[in-house]
Chain A
Amino acid sequence: MSELFDLTPEQRQLVDLPPQSRIFLEGPAGTGKTTAGAARLLRLLEAGIPASEILILLPQRTLGTPYLEALNQPEAFTGGMVSLLTVGGLARRMVELFWPLISAQAGFSRPDEPPTFLTLETAQYYMAHLVRPLLGEGYFESLTIDRNRLYSQILDNLNKAAVVGFPHTEIGERLLAASDAEPSQVRIYQDAQECANRFRGYCLENNLLDFSLQLEVFAHHLWGLPQCRDYLNASYRHLIFDNLEEDTPVAHDLVRDWLPEIDSALLIYDHDAGYRRFLGADPDHACLLKDGCEQHILFEASLVSAPAVQALNLGLGDRINRSRQPLPAEDPRPALLYETHRFFPEMLEWVTGQIASLVYDEGLPPGQIVVMAPFLSDSLRFALANRLEARQIPVRSHRPSRSLREEPPAQCLLTLAAIAHPQWGFTPGKFDLAYALMQAIEGLDLVRAQLLTEIVYHVRQGAPTLSAFDQIIPETQARITYLFGERYDTLRLWLEQYQQDAQDEAHILPLDHFLSRLFGEVLSQPGFGFHASYDAGQVTANLVESIQKFRWVAAPTFGQTDAALGKEYIEMVKDGVIAAQYLSGWQIEAEDAVLLAPAYTFLMNNRPVEVQFWLDVGSRAWADRLEQPLTHPYVLSRAWQPNTQWTAVEEIATSQERLYRLATGLLRRCHSRLYLGLSELGEQGMEQRGPLLLAFQRLLRDLAALEEQS
């Protein structure tokens, strides 16, 4: 089966090493390391190693695709199943399994109750629950920040403590020691520490496990527990750990500890990467794993980039680093195409034209093209997708999360839920209802929906009510049409019936069940807006799942009724705490389509393409780290020396390093050509001269000078 891969001699040599080997494979991206890893996996299976004894560890699940593809070959293996896990996933499984043995010693107040695992959303919810009252007491007073960002950064600090491996009680101290100790900043860090402490205390009291606590319980209480260790050692004898530079120090510690106990290991390390540093990745620390392996192998030759792209990569990298290296012998210019425009939309036109030419004139498959920007705003995504679709070029888009509360079907569902539950005290605005009716009733336009709403929607004694269509004067009925009127009445009567039933509190449905029933019995029936709308079905499913997870977690903690939890959920949505982000599941996407993606998302998909387009090249966002006033990826890292100050010098140095790694990583995943979409004014209409643009300018100047000299 490993013959499925067309391997180089170096790859073949690695794959053919005896099964009982511990191998550290390193090299730049694009040198065929993961391909060798997938081929090695098949070779282990061929050698008779049971699939269930193989564990593939990855820092992020998107990186598992090459291994899944190899395993999905019909003849790949027969028997048990290979496990593909992140260290976080492994931690959760072990906590779930061995909970009864460690719940008391780990400090949980209810050791005889099961654990409740928090998702990102539900963790934010509990954080909001604890922090909101403190805001009224003056916590974070000097900070202007969205509340959900505030909550997520406190959680992020806890996660950093867990993945780096220091006590969460030291977060504030570490941040303070590195700061310039401005009184307002001191207070902010103290507040952040206090909130982290309270959150952790609350979790221990209520058997709640956010990501950080899952990992800490695993590392501190399970890893050394004989039953758990024996189980792991009996289950997994062979380890493949890919992209370990993107994983965290605690993940590395666990693997380093485990290596002597397992039969074989292949550890794969990418040079010049570490793109998930803001999530605690530590590429320098990952190198320590080399000592645990007997075989050290280096792949150096690119199997991806054409010589001109490699030269471009070298030349650009040197200019980002401001090193005085001579220009590469190969001329990089055949690999670089660009055109400067005054305005952003002009640049988008040029980009679209170039893509059309690549697809229609050169016959390049659209799937071999990626368009990237440091951040891909919805407007940029929309503008590009529209232009490409107008030219019949398929497009797909990757984004890490989508805002559920902004999806029209979700807005419609939540508006109708508010009307069905007058006891909640929410009164949707007229426009919200008109918009909801437009979504709910197939074919109803906004003008008719607004007319209908004006007449039938009233707020009586603070409660929203809907009146019947037949109470409208005939002329207006005719304008709205009887067909829409009949559908409106079906919906109204359904809501009314529910309200009547719900007068008995026992008949109030959990919000997710209410929405499922509304969806199934009305909105997805023929004549209604969600019927045969697969997108509306997906959005409703995401919303229902989000509410259900919230209810399952919150109900045992608060002992609230289902009705009260529905109201609480909607309040949290309004506050932006939940449904602000939602990890979209499997989506139907055209595979052979131009990919629009933020640069880091493309990198973490780890799929080389023929041609790349970089937009917004003048933006500083290519180099700058995210503005995070409550946390710090470098200070809260293992390498950071305590009591050292983070100054502008470190900021500039890390920014330069980040840009270098990003540009290099992208170009190592580019086969033949890079297009730069340049505009004097950026998307926001501002003139931009960020370091990436300056590096390109320096490179082009140096090339021109060299040409003149020769």
Chain B
Amino acid sequence: MSTPNPKLPAAFQFSQSNLQDFVDCRRRFQLRWLLRLSWPAIETEPALEREREMQRGAAFHHLLQQHILGIPAERLSAMVHDPALQTWWENYLAFTQAPGEFAPLWQPETRRFPEIALSAPLGSHRLLAKYDLLAILPDGRVIIVDWKTSRSLTRRKYLVDRLQTRVYPHLLLQAGGQLYGGPILPEQVEMVYWFAGYPDQPERFPYSPKAHRADQEYLDSLVNLIQRLEGDDFSLTQDETRCRYCIYRSLCDRGVKAGDLTDMETEPELAEALELDFEQISEVAYDMGAATLD
């Protein structure tokens, strides 16, 4: 069967997730984002463990959003029953109370925006990102906090290479002005990965004008490249170890079994990938019509 060759639709929206896919494997980008191909193979084994980790991660993010929006911690604590989630939650509460470099995040004067999405033009398309937390500090700094719930501490080198580390601060500069109340300068921005299981080992990435210029050029060149490609130009990655964690491995004839969870470095990114679409955000998956069109 020949592969359909859809072009990048005019309404296509870039995100760190789809750009990361492109960088990792062009074919994966094509299958997942251009063809929107559902291919329900197991991503990693043991799948049930992975699923529980994803659910726990989602519950943690939700809990923090509720807390930052003002629901009292005692009330939320009563709702946490899973021991691992309990540990993360306690780590987080301690993080919000701890003195030191992150204390300004939790000062009353700090403006906090949990689960906020920003969007700006990127070439002839749009770039979107959903932030776990944006905090505008009284001294004018803006901290991007990303809650990480992976089972192991992610290597700094790995984070440096992730598109997320480049896209989030870059887009904040492009699109955060209204929120901030004026233009944001690169040196005011810092990206922090905070690990729920390793609360004392956050990874910090201060932004800079140089990084901003480099990111702009990089993203422009990436998008230009994607727009030029078609059909077989979306080639398979040379790094076949990636295929062990890719659901399309059977389609590409790149293996049978899913990779082992313990060797996997990335953490679930499903929530963002699915939610970044306006239409996906819009609606509860319930259609009364179906109930009655009997």
Contact = CB atoms under 8 A, between A and B. Distances in A.
B228 interface: no
A259 B60 CA distance: 35
B1 A532 contact: yes
A526 B122 CA distance: 39
A278 B292 contact: yes
B219 to A, nearest CB: 14
B288 interface: yes
Nearest to A83: B281
Contacts of B279: 61, 64, 68, 84
Contacts of A606: none
A88 B288 CA distance: 10
Contacts, number: 219
A516 B41 contact: yes
B116 A538 contact: no
B247 A69 contact: no
Contacts of A88: 283-284, 286, 288
A89 B283 contact: yes
B93 interface: no
Given A79-B179, A80-B179, A85-B282, A279 B289 contact: yes
Nearest to A95: B284
B10 interface: yes
A532 B76 CA distance: 47
A616 B13 CA distance: 42
Contacts of A581: 290
Interface in A509-550: 509-510, 513, 515-517, 519-521, 524-526, 531-534, 537-538, 540-542, 544-545
Interface string B30-71: 000001111111100001100100000001001001100111
B288 A159 contact: yes
B236 interface: no
Given A61-B283, A100-B76, A533-B1, A513 B42 contact: yes
Interface string B114-151: 00111111111110100000000000000000000000
B40 A544 contact: yes
A10 interface: no
B250 A517 contact: no
A204 to B, nearest CB: 17
Contact of A101 (B75, B247, B251, B284): B75
Interface residues of A, number: 89
B250 A119 contact: no
Contacts of A78: 119-121, 174-175, 177-178
Interface stretch (B161-169, B191-199, B252-260, B261-269): B252-260
A84 B37 contact: no
B79 interface: yes
B289 A400 contact: yes
B284 A117 contact: yes
Interface stretch (A130-138, A147-155, A194-202, A351-359): A147-155
A79 B177 contact: yes
Given A52-B116, A74-B124, A89-B284, 7 more contacts: A61-B283, A71-B278, A80-B119, A85-B283, A537-B37, A537-B38, A588-B36
25 contacts: A64-B282, A68-B11, A72-B11, A79-B175, A81-B281, A83-B282, A84-B279, A86-B284, A89-B283, A91-B284, A98-B66, A112-B78, A120-B290, A146-B294, A211-B284, A211-B288, A513-B48, A517-B41, A519-B41, A520-B249, A533-B1, A534-B35, A534-B37, A541-B40, A588-B36
Interface of A: 48, 50-52, 60-61, 64, 68-69, 71-72, 74-86, 88-89, 91-92, 96-98, 100-101, 112-114, 117, 119-120, 146, 148-149, 152-153, 155-156, 159, 211, 214, 227, 231, 276, 278-280, 400-401, 509-510, 513, 515-517, 519-521, 524-526, 531-534, 537-538, 540-542, 544-545, 562, 581, 583, 585-586, 588, 626, 628, 631
Q: Nearest 10 CB-CB pairs, A to B?
A: A520-B41, A541-B38, A72-B11, A524-B250, A74-B121, A541-B40, A92-B284, A89-B283, A81-B117, A149-B294
